[in-house]
């Protein structure tokens, strides 16, 4: 055994770092954080980078600078969990023992699920703002276009911040309008659900912007193949079961996503479920079969829309419940399914969707219509949230 900790956290992203910091504040001293990467990313800014409204450097910090003081950063990759021996197995061959284990390794991108997609986003005509390295390429392709067809796509299945698929599209449309070329550009948005988002108030506001920019919205549809050399996207309508071939000048695609493969091979997902998400109680975030195992964030089998906003609530619930469990007490804090998606509908305005796991509205400030397009919401999303993230959330204070 190379390490042993009271609490071991797998994944030093949004969930892992903010949880480690919060547990530290609640008096947990011996924490190990397993994270293989050198850099920590604030992913919500990727959409702004792809829309030409943020710089790459604003979304990245070194992992060492965000790891809370006193936390043992184990720079390695988890490959498996032995729940009988209370041990995490690492890529290096080492093992880490735990009293309590928290899993938050995020989602895995499945580029190969769509034939030709990986080649297309790495070609001179494709990009994806879901990949940090490709987000600025999105903006360079979108901003240099003066005519032609642009296709934006969202996959079916669980993804990070569902609405983020659309954000660079509105930012680009507003830019093309400013440049006087919007009417020369055909914009197609492909998304798998029956409406543009799924909450009537938000849908109405987004549909208004879609009409304003002249965007063609393909609902119930998804990208099923790409011919990168021929610049042709195959779009299947899952209701009519028909496929349309769309030629494009720029393709901005969001990859299909899933829980990490290595997690699927453990006994932590629900038996027979096969999707790999960690089988926790959706309110207490404690594992349903292993009381010393917990999960939060994108890799947990909670029913909310996956987002950093959801984590603002989950982190506190899990930290308090874990601290109670260490004292032999029952977990009493409950996560209410809250999530949020800020749609950047222009270069200066945002539409906020705040909702629970049933897609019922859940505004932070009751009676304030945050789903209305607003400049204040832009300021909150673009200026305030990044500061709150680096200075409060990652410090376990928000």
Q: Would you tell me which residues interact with ligand FAD (CB under 6 A)?
A: 10-16, 34-37, 43-44, 46-47, 77-78, 104-106, 129-130, 160-161, 164, 260, 262, 297-299, 306-309, 311, 340, 342
128 versus 321: smaller Cβ distance to ligand FAD? 128
Contacts of 164 (CB under 8 A, 6+ apart): 44, 46, 47, 129, 130, 254, 341
Tell which phi-psi region holds residue 284, choosing left (phi > 0), alpha (psi between -120 and 50) or beta. Answer: alpha
Q: Which is nearer to ligand FAD, 131 or 227 (CB)?
A: 131
Which residue, 105 or 269, has its beta carbon nearer to ligand FAD?
Answer: 105
Taking the complex as a whole, how short is the minimal distance between the CB of residue 318 and ligand FAD, in angstroms? Answer: 12
End-to-end CA distance of the chain: 35
Beta strand pairing call for 126-127 and 185-190:
unpaired
DSSP β-bridge partners for residue 353: 341
Whole-number minimum distance, CB 11 to ligand FAD, in Å?
3
SS3 label, residue 24: helix
Residue 149 · residue 172 · CB < 8 Å: no
- Return d(Cα 357, Cα 60) in angstroms, integer: 30
* Residue among 141 and 311 whose Cβ is closer to ligand FAD: 311
180: left (phi over 0), alpha (psi -120 to 50) or beta: left
Q: Measure the CA–CA gap between 265 and 278, rounded to whole angstroms.
A: 11
Query: Least CB distance from residue 81 to ligand FAD, whole Å?
Result: 10
Return the bridge partners of 233, or none.
226, 246
CB 342 to ligand FAD: min, Å: 5
Q: Residue 35 Cβ, how far from ligand FAD at the closest point, in Å?
A: 5
Contact predicate 263/299, CB 8 Å: yes
**Closest distance to ligand FAD from the beta carbon of 245 (Å):** 27
Q: Which is nearer to ligand FAD, 35 or 373 (CB)?
A: 35
Structure tokens at 261: 């493969």
Least CB distance to ligand FAD at residue 171 (A): 12
- Within 10 angstroms of residue 200's Cβ, the number of other Cβ atoms is 12
Residue of closest CB approach to ligand FAD: 13
Closer Cβ to ligand FAD, 135 or 231, answer by number: 135
Residue among 338, 356, 320, 335 at smallest CA distance from 282: 335
């Amino acid at each position: 055994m190379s390490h042993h900790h009271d609490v071991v956290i797998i994944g030093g992203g949004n969930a892992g770092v903010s949880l480690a910091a919060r547990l530290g504040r609640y008096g947990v001293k011996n924490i190990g954080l397993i994270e293989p990467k050198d850099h920590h990313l604030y992913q919500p800014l990727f959409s702004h980078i792809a829309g030409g409204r943020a710089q790459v450097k604003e979304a990245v910090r070194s992992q060492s600078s965000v790891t809370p003081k006193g936390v043992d950063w184990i720079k390695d990759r988890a490959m498996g969990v032995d729940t009988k021996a209370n041990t995490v197995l690492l890529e290096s061959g080492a093992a880490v023992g735990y009293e309590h284990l928290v899993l938050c390794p995020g989602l895995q991108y499945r580029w190969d699920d769509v034939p030709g997609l990986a080649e297309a986003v790495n070609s001179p005509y494709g990009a994806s703002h879901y990949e940090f390295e490709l987000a600025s390429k999105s903006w360079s392709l979108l901003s240099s276009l003066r005519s032609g067809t642009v296709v934006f796509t969202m996959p079916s299945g669980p993804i990070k911040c569902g609405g983020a698929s659309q954000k660079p599209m509105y930012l680009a449309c507003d830019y093309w309008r400013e440049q006087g070329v919007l009417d020369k550009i055909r914009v197609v948005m492909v998304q798998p659900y029956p409406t543009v988002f799924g909450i009537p108030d938000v849908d109405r506001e987004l549909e208004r912007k879609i009409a304003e920019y002249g965007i063609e919205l393909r609902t119930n549809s998804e990208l099923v193949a790409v011919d990168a050399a021929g610049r042709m996207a195959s779009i299947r309508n899952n209701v009519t079961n028909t496929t349309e071939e769309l030629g494009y000048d720029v393709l901005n695609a969001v990859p299909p996503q899933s829980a990490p493969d290595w997690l699927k091979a453990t006994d932590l997902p629900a038996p027979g479920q096969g999707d790999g998400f960690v089988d926790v109680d959706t309110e207490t975030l404690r594992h349903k079969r292993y009381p010393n195992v917990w999960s939060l964030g994108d890799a947990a089998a909670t029913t909310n829309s996956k987002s950093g906003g959801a984590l603002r609530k989950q982190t506190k619930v899990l930290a308090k419940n874990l601290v109670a469990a260490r004292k032999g007490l029952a977990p009493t804090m409950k996560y209410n399914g809250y999530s949020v998606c800020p749609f950047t509908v222009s270069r200066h305005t945002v539409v906020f969707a705040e909702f629970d796991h049933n897609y019922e509205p859940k505004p932070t400030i009751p009676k304030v219509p945050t789903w209305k397009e607003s400049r204040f919401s832009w300021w909150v999303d673009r200026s305030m949230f990044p500061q709150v993230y680096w200075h409060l959330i990652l410090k376990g204070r928000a």
